Structure 1
């Protein structure tokens, strides 16, 4: 046992002293191990102290650890967390404060305890700081995702030279840029604007020459975690979500419904695509997606599987056009949204009969027996499990539809038929008609709204802010909840957010949860959320989006974090001026939850099921991410004055249930 512990310590030391990574063969030589012993060591240590990554057709061993820097040091941390207490700028190599009020000593009693628990006490200061940088995502500056898409020297970034994020090729940082020196994105970490952003972030000195390697190691560690999450130890009860900013590097293929209705308040910050139709066809020109002409004609032909492509060289099956990749962006599936949502995509399912004619499931036909499943049935199952096998009947025959291979098979004769999924066609004229009908019907059916809402101020679209009187029960309840942990703060005003669309979404989601829960009522809780004042209008208009509003937490997974105590969310409320700050309160519908882990990109599956997942993750019932449904309250507050805005019902459209 002692011999193995010594080998484990040597492994960490060798990896840390080699810049955080090493080729497998070189590591084997450095540790003087044969292939069998090296294989055993990897089997034991993989997932804790190392990860294996493929780089340039070689296996590279990455130094992985759970060590994180405490972001609450000097604020709310009581000193009993399991994170290291060090000055952030000391870690980054740029602290020039003398004296500095934050710790620069890795050998304090607390830090030694943390290092020993992580088996890192043998590392030098520089080795430890290097290890922190590649393992703690909150320490590295974000890469601008907008710069990495679109044409021009700044891509689609509207902030251009004033952007606070790095304008650098994301694929270059990941070691996967296929364009090399011909890439139109920057590959130079020493370029003036990039260097200025790194300096502003605090990265200086010895780490800059090795920064590319640090980013690549960090990216590979994140990819490995996302691909094969391992069972993790639950976080300590005192651990708080870190203050990391999320980076959305993927190019979204979902069109923003709010933009279609001329009401997306996230604007340039929106992670969804902004386009005037519920579909968008694009071709990849080098590394840039560009719109294809005759888009409506292409869409109409695509929607009918019995039609051929209207343009020579266009292939719907391979999604290529003259050897170039093409893609179709789309609004969310209609079955994933409440019925009142317009301009969602209605997907239809077809099978090819013996006459090579595509027939819709559940559709009337004289030639074939009617199936007992419909397109809507299949779409619901497909969205929850894209590898499922679906049994169904048509007349006296029984079949199994396999989503993975997109075929249906007759269980008696083994006959297989091809299956496809296509959208229902919507023309640009249809879009305008639906938008007009939506506007005309916006004030109908007020009976379904909360009884305490002001019926004289129901908005045609968007939301209205309704001031509450201090004598009202609604005001007093919110005031009491807020003052439970922030007694010294005076509330300046409270306003209710009345948003009909989000209220309807909330009711629909509540009904869905109740049905899934066997008819049992869903419990509700009130939680707080601090945010940037620039996002308040967008949140009131169209809800929280964890990729934008969830910028302050990763300790229990990627998502929007909510706290039981207003005093905690106060730390994440960004000041609008010298006195005021912003806060929301959320009334949450509680689902099935589990302790979170920083590696989670979504809550894990229940037991070994691949199609049933937990709704949310928690620490000790104080913080959660990301909520599926909530009631929001907006509050602006400061030293002794607080402007508080109160409560509409809404839900996170892509979300998971928050506890």
Structure 2
């Protein structure tokens, strides 16, 4: 075929869907089938037609050849759509002929021409595109060659039907420019997403087999130093024993929800949104060598005391592997009491996992939707409930609204309570929302029984007579002589705590019915009774000097003032100290103004967090409070000063490469790159106080820091570099404060 004929042929082939082919150049001499095969499938087809052959044999030149050739070149899209109608994406050539009118020879030639799209075996045609999901896309790194990448950029868990996250960073969209280009090359861009998921689900794993996911042995020996380890950083004992480590002092990760674990599970096509036991079962099924790992690895020394290995932790058989504190949002504990030692000193079982709740006070309140998971209420709510509960007169109390500034986005309290006003029923121990339709369970925890006198754990008993609540054993001036009961609250409490005891008999046919919570005098008279803690909270004061608890260099503020911006004079020491923070990194920028941000609410939240972490780490130096910089759009400065930094509202001009949070830079020049000019050609740089705390390498999948296996709580920050961080990513709004606004030219 000469070059002009080839050009004509290609022109006709590309327009056959619009106009039927009416003529075709004469077939040339048969060519050797061992010639180099062109990469482009279109060129393969041209070569086959030019030679008058296909890989299955020659194209027959008879009166119907034009329709057969036409079928061949409009055929792939038609064949894709036809086979996609079958659940197995397979159909016999006879079925395709009888039910869809597709010529058998034309189907054979199409399958031969497009080997990356179809297969033919035993006269069965199958739609099996050689298409897969990009490994770089689902790896901890990025696909930097996406423009030339021939693989799909989509979430494998979505394809498997497991990922339901609308904001999944791996993507759930088949119609992105990149994915559409890939699908169009297979004439699959018109298939519904459900069909595509089913089709790709059966091909991507077999075409690019993924190495079985393993548990990192170096991590279990505390020697792994890889930043992007391809094996799971999780306790091997925990996996082998089906979710029960068995070592009370183990400091390794026991959470399948830890972000790096989820990431690896998803990249290997394994589910991550299931309970630990199901995930472990799936992991062991796909990597059976795990259960045959060296048994010696299970006995790696993970504690400084050998005796602790032989001492069972009280949490081991209760589903808890670390001590739970009242400032955690999860409050489930095996023993629903507060550890006395945690309040008064140091609990000896804290490192191994105490079975009781650790708190700063001898009392705490929790809420639950189904009594399966208890959540710790905020301190202001706890105090409100406790103060009311110590008063026998009180039957209900409205607790303060949830302070969302003190709640992380992942805290379930946010979705459970919201910003509604909740009322506590102190008799039935429940919470009701403002509409009265939603009811939650409520419980109070107090210190375990000890020989020490703890008012919060000391209960008094009252009976109701003549409009008054009277403590047992106390004289009631308004009562008749025979209604003064010579029995103490302590005696009643002893009987009340006896297992199975429901009635306490008193003199003169008097009885206390613990089940009905009434006092019966004979058969005709009864009085309500109540059991309440001994009053132990100081009376709330109303004359607190609002400014005494704010920084001394701040301008005085009224209690109702939420925000004040103070312009600092250039000659003051504070102004000079702010300029020193910039060093010499801002060569071309001129400082026009420095303003101090005075927000008492945000400032107190930061101080409370610093105090809390200081107690947790035992040293304020480990809290690591730093002065950092933040660059952003001009129009959100005021909102940041009022509500604090919030990437969900303001976005992040740094992107989300190291996690989905608020970004801060260690150098002012780096942050200034993300500042925008206003109409006066000025930029605004924010200086912030930030709790850096413990750090870990971040990546774009993180919506919160992973668990710190050493501390037993999540890391405080993610960073761009663990050794020399220049970018700090924060997730908790209590851990940073906008301190100054610097106006630059």
Is the structural similarity TM-score above 0.5? no
Structure possessing the higher radius of gyration over alpha carbons: 2
Q: TM-score, normalised by structure 2?
A: 0.35
Greater length-normalized contact order (CA 8 Å, ≥ 6 residues apart): 1
